[in-house]
Structure 1
Amino acid sequence: MGPMVRAAVAGLPVYRPGRPAPLGPGGVSYKLSSNENPFPPLPGVIEAAEIACAQLNRYPDMGNVAMTEALSAKLAVAEDRLAFGTGSVAVLYHLLQAFCERGDEVVYAWRSFEAYPIAVQLTGATPVPVPLGPGWTHDLDALRAAVTPATKAVLLCTPNNPTGPALRHDDVLAFVAAVPDRVLVVIDEAYAEFVTDPAAVRPMEITAGHDNVVLLRTFSKAYGLAGLRVGFCVAAAPIARAVRAAALPFGVSVPAQAAVIASLAAEEALFERVGQIVAERERMVAGLSSAGFDIPAAEGNFVWLAAGPRTQSYADTFAAAGVMVRPYVSGDRWDGLRITVGEPEANDLVLLTAADLER
């Protein structure tokens, strides 16, 4: 008998990446299964990354100094409150590894980001999923009730991936006030730039006044750097320091650091592109609603189509048309499809295909 894998690892659920799209009639193919940005990198990013590639024989700056300075200036937060990783999911892994161990509990809404149970179980801690409330959003009262003396962290995903709604600022403030200070409240805001609800949570304000609140963000979505993998957290200095200590050395690559700095300088183009994606999102919501579907509030770059037992057949119908969407099939009431907002032609095909789906 060979070495035994840790029980916590052997029992991990599998993270399933979005699948590429098959060719539909006429050879069309759209991948709307990974919440990717349909636009190429922002102006100046490819050039900056190419220049940085000339230094690929050197290790990256392990301290992410220039990137930290640029982000600190952009967000107006102290540099010692920032920590980076290869995507916000990596930062979450580092954070939980730094604070959680066997015997601890981590509370999160479900259905939500499918990396949560994996990240929690890797530490040896116990995942505590709490069903979503009406409107496919977090039931903050139920999440608060799930907090016990063993709870080490609560994960709030806003907008919630994959269902779409964003949490309200006043509700999150009240939640943070009701949770013991010893509990980490992690606000995962990977889709922050797409939020248009004026009442939506403003986590930067909350982190400034509560040392147990951590904000996660990424450059993969709105900034279009999914292929380079850079995310970060904003937290109290001791927490950010712990994340940096747990992080993989030299994790953020040389071209990725250069791309982030260039992306932060291209804010005007960023907002223009985000505006186009939001407009397409609203068009998809309106079209799917007109087709008879009850679509939850969509605040990310995706829409949620609750499909229940028809989830897989719906996904197969979209695939046959040349559109790969993301089915979530568990055999429970939370089954449905997440459809990324893509280029207008892809969104047109989504609406055309959805109109013929069996209700």
Structure 2
Amino acid sequence: MDYLNDIFSSLLKVNSFFTDYKKTFTENFVLYFRKTAKQKIPEIRIKSLADNLYEELFLFKNNPLDELYSLGLKMYETKVDIRAVLSKVFMIMAKEFLEYLIEEDKDIIYLKNFISLIETYLSTLDKANVDYIDSLQDKLVEIVEEKKADETESIIDILKVKKENIKVIDYFFEVPVVCKSKLIRTEGRNVFLDVSSCINKIFEKNHYVFIKVENLSKSIECRVKEIDYSRGVLILTDFEYAPIPQEKRRYIRVRLDKKLPVVLIKNSTEVKGIIDDISVGGIGVFLTDTHNLKTGDTVDIIFVLDGYTVNVLGQIRYISPSGRTTRIGIKFLSLSARDEEIIGEFATKRQFEILRKLRQL
């Protein structure tokens, strides 16, 4: 408050300007408020607001920042950008204050102090805006959490009814594995399933899997909280309705178990990476340096598959950081019949290799 007191003390020496300016302030405030506010508010209320606000800001008696902050919050709640209104009004006021100082042959320090004052006022409104947005985000998080809690309860109720026919789906190197399970019990938001009849031990703690139950059109995504293969018990949590991404794919996609180098070329710049998965539709690639590649870029793709060199045009569909590397999804744009045959045969052969590994688990 000390710095405000110093500014107030200074501006009180030119108080005649502020005493005479109230009417002009109110007129300008009403003008820009009407341009900014979407709601139709009676002019008498806008004038009253302007008068009260002027007295708070320019009588230089009390600290107005708390009142200004509260006003900012209320205005933002009613969808009025009070900062935009006051920015215009303050700019006009600063211009006319400068003219007053010139006419009265006053020192430039008064203008500097006035500018510092309105910057403080606008900063206070900025803080109110940030706090208002934060409060909206907190409310949104609360709503989402409530919705998720309701959704979880609904899913658990369904699983209690469908307890004898619950299919848990996981993906092993992109190959779907379906485990038929039975409900043992529920505890809070955790579901205990009997998976003793599943021949493949593919579930891993904290990995996400999917559930399908009879006569339910939606699939359910959930997290593996614990897995006890010796007792055949799978504990799932964090339930929500979600589509299974792999089911939307047009082509068989398989992950590779060995590093397969790939070169991406954009505008004569070569970027080297490793192929993570592949299908006739495209590839997933890990890069240590993206070299300014962007989503939507078209690149030449070169890699060798079973002794055959594939050279094809592709489009980057997504870029996703993954630890120290970056994963890029690329869609093939111009596969030749021979390229498609080679990649299709490789994907099929790789799928059988994965199935053999599954049987060994």
What is the TM-score with the length of structure 2 in the denominator?
0.20
Quick check: which one's helix share is greater?
A: 2
Quick check: which one's strand share is greater?
A: 2
What is the TM-score with the length of structure 1 in the denominator?
0.21
Q: Please tell me whether Structure 1 or Structure 2 has the larger radius of gyration of its CA atoms.
A: 2
